[in-house]
Amino acid sequence: MKKTLIATAFLALGAQAQLAHADLTVAIAGPMTGQYASAGDQIRRGAEMAITDINAKGGVLGQKLKLEVGDDACDPKQAVSVANTMVNKKVVFMHGHWCSSSTIPASEVYVEADIPMATVSTNPQVTERGLKNIFRIMGRDDQQGLVAGGYIADKFKGKKVAVLDDKSAYGKGLADEMAKAMTAKGLKPTLRESITAGEKDYSGIVTKLKQAGVEVLAYGGYHTEVALILRQAQQAGLKLTVMGGDTMTNSELVTAAGANADNVMFTFSPDPRKNPDAAPVVKRFRDAKVEPEGYVMYAYAAMQLFAEAAPQAKSTKFADLEKAMRGGTFKTVIGDLSFDAKGDQKKPGFVVYQWKGGQYDYAAK
């Protein structure tokens, strides 16, 4: 009987020890397949490198991080399905989703399950619904639209400018903000139109732009459609300068648009690759043959946010994490992160970039 009790006690202690050292499951979600899969790949590469680095330093609260990857293909229904899967996998932190139209419905699932999330989705409604679990690590469309629209009004005064969107939550929101900022500075859009993303022929809108004498296109949407519009505009003898948003960071734009990509400008946060504090991480990515462009460093920063917040909270419980993330300042590869009551960054920033020769850099002021 005594031997049985001792054996049982050892088994219980062993189970407790195993539980104490179990992995913490964190997750990312975004378009891992579909026409925006290159953005999903950037997110995955950034998160994987961060987790490797965090685990090499001992993990978080003595536990190693394990990554789950969800593919929503930028489809809202699929995003909800991914979110429910992540809840069932008991993730303690989510970085996602990417498309605002996916992030908004998925966040309703995560908040019900008390899962904190970092996101780069820029539609204002992401943080305007009073959800306590969302922390946006990039600015908002009403901020980048103000910068983009203001730049257009200043640099292209007297030019004919069309405003176009792809009907998505992100695209329409950004286009509306650009139009508003332009108009406030005295430059009224010549045309305000919408297209359907994913189509192969945009000759109809190109014809409209040409007939109206448009020289500058303010576009709310994703890089895939911009590349196609530029190619078809060239075929029609129409030279366009395009101003877009943060999704234009994708180098697939250059592959698809060719030399026409040099006519694309866009707004994005200050380039984290130029942050001296991030230099060692940038080098590790490049040594691994990964260019840390676009959303790579943001995914890395999201995992840093969790890895710093949990020790401050001394817990991975939602109430403790939420309090720590709401009240702290966290050093990351994209700079210091701190959040207001809505979950927006306290010090967001957008600058204007331009593609040239296959690379993007700050545009002339």
Q: What is the pTM of this model?
A: 0.89
CA distance 42 to 52: 16
Reported as a single tens digit per residue, the pLDDT across 54-76 is 999 999 999 999 999 999 999 99
Name the token pair of 205.
């809108």
Q: What is the pLDDT of residue 365?
A: 80
Cβ density class 304-318: b for 16+ within 10 Å, e for less: bbbbbbbeebebbeb
Pairwise CA distance, residues 29 & 80, whole Å: 11
130: left (phi > 0), else alpha (psi -120 to 50), else beta? left
Low-confidence residues of the chain: pLDDT under 50: 1-20
- Architecture of the 2-139+274-337 domain: 3-Layer(aba) Sandwich (3.40)
Task: Give me 57's structure tokens.
Answer: 């330093």
Segments of 31-138 assigned E as strands? 65-71, 93-95, 117-119, 134-136
Please give the pLDDT value at position 281: 98
Measured distance CA(308)–CA(60) in Å, rounded:
8
Distance (Å, whole) CA 167 – CA 253:
20
Quickly name the fold that domain 142-268 has: Rossmann fold (3.40.50)
Strand-pair partners of 362? 353
Is there a shared CATH topology between the 2-139+274-337 domain and the 142-268 domain?
A: yes
pLDDT at 167: 96
* Tens-place pLDDT, residues 217-269: 999 999 999 999 999 999 999 999 999 999 999 999 999 999 999 999 999 99
Q: Where are the domains of the chain?
A: 2-139+274-337, 142-268
Query: CB of 295 within 8 A of CB of 43?
Result: yes
> What amino acid is encoded at 180 in this protein?
K
